[in-house]
Amino acid sequence: MTDPTFPQDQDAFAGPGPVPDNMAQVTIKNGANSETEGTPGWERRTLEKLAMAAIAEQRQARRWRNGIRLAWLVFLVALVWIGMERKGAGTDVSAPHTAIVKIEGEIASGAEASAELVVAAMRSAFEDKSAQAVVLLINSPGGSPVQAGIINDEIRRLKTLHQKPVYAVVEETCASAAYYIAVAADKIFVDKASVVGSIGVLMDGFGFTGLMDKLGVERRLMTAGENKGFMDPFSPQTDRQRVFAQAMLDQIHQQFIAVVKEGRGKRLKETSETFSGLFWTGQQAIDMGLADQLGNVDFVAREVVKAEELVDYTRKDNVAERLVKRFGASIGEGSVRAVRSLQVLR
């Protein structure tokens, strides 16, 4: 009798007559080869073929994985290579032009508007003899007074060194630390609806001591130094600490005021609200002497600098630098964790 799941091979037996039951044939096809159940050692040869097929499949899968990894590596190398050049103007710009340095977003260390990147861009712009003037294109709500102070000082130094005019052009916002930078410019141009000012200093935080009392939560903070836990949101603030913080804020505020008065000079029409932390529209800022006149970057380049061509010198972290910083941060975090684990095991 023939197995219904496999076709009968007409050449498997010679001679006439039916095929005996004990000689039933089972054919396993693999490509052009086949093994018959009655042939000695067919099980071993079949298993060998199956094993070889599995090995070949594994090799093919491994080659695919290696190919994908190689493709990703090539892609990352290409990104790093493309990103090796910072965004900004090169030294091959020879035609007279107006240099642009953008100050956008938060002014802080590690940000795009950090002193490191802004100062580097300004130096390139000032050193380029084809740049007729430097325009600071500002759109920032403020940030660190330290970063703003570094930029302000460098603007004054570069102006004296290169004898090149500097103009600040405000787009949406020029507040707090951004205005700290702008007052170092020879003139400040604004839009009538720009937000300008906020000459003040703040230190913010939260206090959860009352909530913790209601919830029955105990804060366990151990310090060496009675004021080491100063500004801890889960610890009460003493009157002495509050007075200390206010004195520090007042001192920084006076530094800010001095920079504004020095930068604006007689153009400033000081009132009781000028240094109160309020902010005004661009038109109001002009009336108060905080800004000089209305105008955008194209107007300044065309009518003031007399060099309509704009060249952007703004610096930004490229892809390679961002990868290095993230890698460095990961390594540093891993080292700290390793040290802490060793300290625990001691």
Q: What is the DSSP string of 246-304?
A: HHHHHHHHHHHHHHHHHHHGGG----TTTTTT-EEEHHHHHHHTSS-EE--HHHIIIII
pTM: 0.66
Nearest alpha-carbon partner for 164 in 138, 189, 131: 131
Report in angstroms the alpha-carbon separations of 64 from 33, 57, 67, 78, 264: 28, 11, 5, 21, 66
| Other C-beta atoms lying within 10 Å of the C-beta of residue 182 | 32
Q: What pLDDT score does 78 carry?
A: 67
Q: What pLDDT score does 57 carry?
A: 84
Residue 208 contacts by C-beta under 8 Å, 6 or more apart in sequence?
A: 233, 234
Report the alpha-carbon distance of residue 165 to residue 5 in Å, rounded.
93
Report the alpha-carbon distance of residue 83 to residue 24 in Å, rounded.
71
Q: What pLDDT score does 212 carry?
A: 66
What is the Cβ-side half-sphere exposure of residue 156, based on CA atoms within 13 angstroms? 12
- Tokens for 346? 């001691």
Helix H or strand E segment including 172: strand 166-175
Q: What pLDDT score does 72 carry?
A: 80
Single-letter amino acid, residue 249: L
> Could you tell me the mean pLDDT of each successive run of 10 residues in the chain, 346 residues long?
43 42 42 52 79 84 83 74 52 79 95 94 95 97 95 96 96 96 97 95 74 72 76 77 89 95 95 94 96 97 95 77 50 51 41
Q: What pLDDT score does 92 carry?
A: 47
Report the alpha-carbon distance of residue 35 to residue 52 in Å, rounded.
16
Report the alpha-carbon distance of residue 97 to residue 341 in Å, rounded.
58
User: Where do the domains of the chain lie?
Assistant: 97-315, 318-346
Beta-strand relationship, 166-175 and 279-281? unpaired
Q: What is the DSSP string of 63-123?
A: HHHHHHHHHHHHHHHHHHHHHTSPSS--TT--S-EEEEEEEES-B-TTSTT-HHHHHHHHH
Nearest alpha-carbon partner for 196 in 106, 297, 294, 290: 290
Q: What pLDDT score does 18 carry?
A: 46
Report the alpha-carbon distance of residue 257 to residue 251 in Å, rounded.
10
Q: What pLDDT score does 75 carry?
A: 74
How much of the chain is helix, strand and coil, in % rounded to 5?
Answer: 45, 15, 40
Q: Domain 97-315: give its CATH superfamily.
A: 2-enoyl-CoA Hydratase; Chain A, domain 1 (3.90.226.10)
Cβ–Cβ under 8 Å, residues 192 and 287: no
Neighbouring-strand partners of residue 143? 107
- Tokens for 172? 């949406």
